[in-house]
Amino acid sequence: MKLIFEKSSSGRQGFKLPASDVPLKATLADKYLRKVPAELPEVSELDVVRHFTQLSQKNFSVDANFYPLGSCTMKYNAKFTEKAAAMPGFADLHPLLPQLKGGERYVQGALEVLFDCEKWLAEITGMKAFTMQPLAGAHGELTGIMLMAAYHKARGNKKKYVIIPDSAHGTNPASAAVAGYEIISVPSDKKGGMDIDKLKAVLTDEVAGLMMTSPDTHGVFNSSISEIAALIHAVDGIMYYDGANLNATMGRCRPGDIGFDVVHLNLHKTFGTPHGGGGPGSGPVGVGAKLEKFLPISRVIKRQDGSFALDYDQPDSIGYIASFYGNFAIILRAYAYMLLLGADGLKQTSDHAVLNANYILSRLKGHYQAAFDRICMHECLFSASRQTERGVHAIDIAKFLIDQRIHPPTVYFPLTVKEAIMIEPTETESKETMDVFVEAMIRADALTKTDPGSFHHLPLTMPISRPDETKAAREMNVNFFAPKA
Ligand SMILES: *Cc1c(COP(=O)(O)O)cnc(C)c1O
């Protein structure tokens, strides 16, 4: 197929398919075919390189800056894992290969990676089996809730509600609602955990299950999980563990051992794979024995002779939840990450993540109001309530940090704490980097006392200062920087 280079009536140049060589012509109606050449810009390689290099420099990334965004686990992504994902034996595989006659033998290595990942994650979480297919944390949640629904359907249970604590990530109620359940929100108690009396008050036979994050978005590990699990299991409910951030407990505590039946993990948080601009993510789902037969297809199996295969013969399965086998190149990076660190390394990861968060908590609690007066897990939570009395809000402090080349922590989440500032340094940051951050936070606090008004013009160093964020989200104009026509 050859492209024809042409000038359009407006004088711009572009490429066009020759009429004789239009393979789509047979399938597309005439009215959809291009009458004039597409106006593609003509630029040199150097201009393209400059354009993308400059864009990459505008991108705020962990490779260049501290990024303590709470709940998002913006840890450094080891370059070693990129190497693994680029290996031609994996990168050049076609996703349809396993389904072609004789194709299976070419994908044995890839299937082994999936098989091992499932096995290792099952070991880490105390679950019976895993699926690597879900394409994000929220997708894992939806898969998990669909497994929950399949379980109740198979048992003839009439279930209507999913219970979710008020500190949960917003995707939890969204996933349960998409799967057809109504949500009951349970408030947190004064120490940040779920209020068990309030839970008991809403528990009925119509409860399908409970979704829980622990450590939760308060950075608090719930010490009553076994008691909560017993209550939920007593009404034949399913305990769902939101393990998006396993970073605090990996290698220390297994959800399967403390009463959870289903769990999702975010490889793009705990397992050091890139977040991407909203993807590609990966949210594998693990289940205990009672949910295993409902797992999505295909499943990776190991035959007696040691070879690997994809099995579609799963009569009770909830079916397909993703095309092919998940975000394979991301799974590969997580595989390399687990191999690199080993069991002891993963455990150390959690220890250092918790240590770092507590270091920041202890250094800042004299300046900012700690949301809970206790040791935190992988993230620490403050309220800018003292600063607010001086007219400076959490958002103002976030803007101050941007001018210091520090990505702001998560602000205004969780919703349970007013003027929330939620800081997650992760284990990959050095004490020196955390000190630079802590000192910037202390300077911000000092400035709220001497010149609170100065915050309202910040940031001064960015192309955009203070957009109307709600309007920006609703009327997204991605051409903001494009030259006006
Ligand atoms: C990030 C996160 C999610 C959602 O994960 P996505 O991959 O962004 O869909 C769910 N729960 C918690 C606690 C999270 O931190």
DSSP 195-247: -HHHHHHH--TTEEEEEE-SS-TTS---TTHHHHHHHHHHTT-EEEEEETTGG
Triad 260, 117, 331: Cα angle to 5°:
110
Nearest protein Cα to ligand 1, atom 8:
137
How remote is the CA of residue 140 from the centroid of ligand 1, in Å?
Answer: 9
- In Å, how far are 222, 263, 455 from 210, measured between CA atoms? 14, 12, 42
Q: Which two tokens stand for residue 190?
A: 């004064």
Do 434 and 359 meet the contact criterion of CB atoms below 8 Å apart? Answer: yes
C-alpha 159 chain-centroid distance: 29
Quick one: which atom of ligand 1 is closest to the CA of 140? 9
Quick one: which atom of ligand 1 is closest to the CA of 269? 1
pLDDT in tens, the chain (485 residues): 455 666 656 565 555 555 555 554 566 778 888 888 888 878 899 999 999 999 888 888 899 999 999 989 999 999 999 999 999 999 999 988 988 888 899 999 999 999 999 999 999 999 999 999 999 999 999 999 999 999 999 999 999 999 999 888 999 999 999 999 999 999 888 777 788 999 999 999 999 999 999 887 777 777 889 999 999 999 999 999 999 989 999 999 999 999 999 999 999 999 999 986 555 899 999 999 999 999 999 999 999 999 999 999 999 999 999 988 899 999 999 999 999 999 999 999 999 999 999 999 999 999 999 999 889 999 999 999 999 999 999 999 999 999 999 999 999 988 889 999 999 999 999 999 999 999 999 999 999 999 999 999 999 998 888 888 788 888 877 666 555 55
Nearest protein Cα to ligand 1, atom 15:
71
How remote is the CA of residue 266 from the centroid of ligand 1, in Å?
Answer: 7
How remote is the CA of residue 99 from the centroid of ligand 1, in Å?
Answer: 32
- Taking the alpha carbons of 176, 182, 186, 187 in that order, is the dihedral positive or negative? positive
pLDDT score at 1: 44
Q: At 238, phi and psi to the nearest 5?
A: -110, 135
Do 222 and 249 meet the contact criterion of CB atoms below 8 Å apart? Answer: no
How remote is the CA of residue 130 from the centroid of ligand 1, in Å?
Answer: 18
Nearest protein Cα to ligand 1, atom 4:
137
How remote is the CA of residue 211 from the centroid of ligand 1, in Å?
Answer: 13
pLDDT score at 13: 59
How remote is the CA of residue 210 from the centroid of ligand 1, in Å?
Answer: 17
Quote the CA–CA distance of 341 and 397 in Å, as a whole number: 36
Q: Which two tokens stand for residue 367?
A: 């300046």
Quick one: which atom of ligand 1 is closest to the CA of 278? 8
Quote the CA–CA distance of 358 and 360 in Å, as a whole number: 5
How remote is the CA of residue 169 from the centroid of ligand 1, in Å?
Answer: 7
Burial (CB count within 10 angstroms: exposed 0-12, middle 13-18, buried 19+), residue 125: buried
Residues with CB under 6 A from ligand 1: 71, 136-138, 169, 171, 213, 242, 244-245, 266, 281, 283
Do 159 and 138 meet the contact criterion of CB atoms below 8 Å apart? Answer: no
Testing ligand 1's pocket by substitution, the residue of 171, 178, 220 carrying the most ligand atoms inside 8 A of its CB is 171
Quick one: which atom of ligand 1 is closest to the CA of 281? 7
Quick one: which atom of ligand 1 is closest to the CA of 213? 13
State pTM to two decimals: 0.87
Do 379 and 353 meet the contact criterion of CB atoms below 8 Å apart? Answer: no
- Taking the alpha carbons of 98, 118, 316, 173 in that order, is the dihedral positive or negative? negative
Do 376 and 357 meet the contact criterion of CB atoms below 8 Å apart? Answer: yes
How remote is the CA of residue 23 from the centroid of ligand 1, in Å?
Answer: 43
Q: Going from the N-terminus, what domains does the chain have, and what CATH number goes with each?
A: 79-340 (3.40.640.10), 347-474 (3.90.1150.10)
Testing ligand 1's pocket by substitution, the residue of 178, 220, 242 carrying the most ligand atoms inside 8 A of its CB is 242
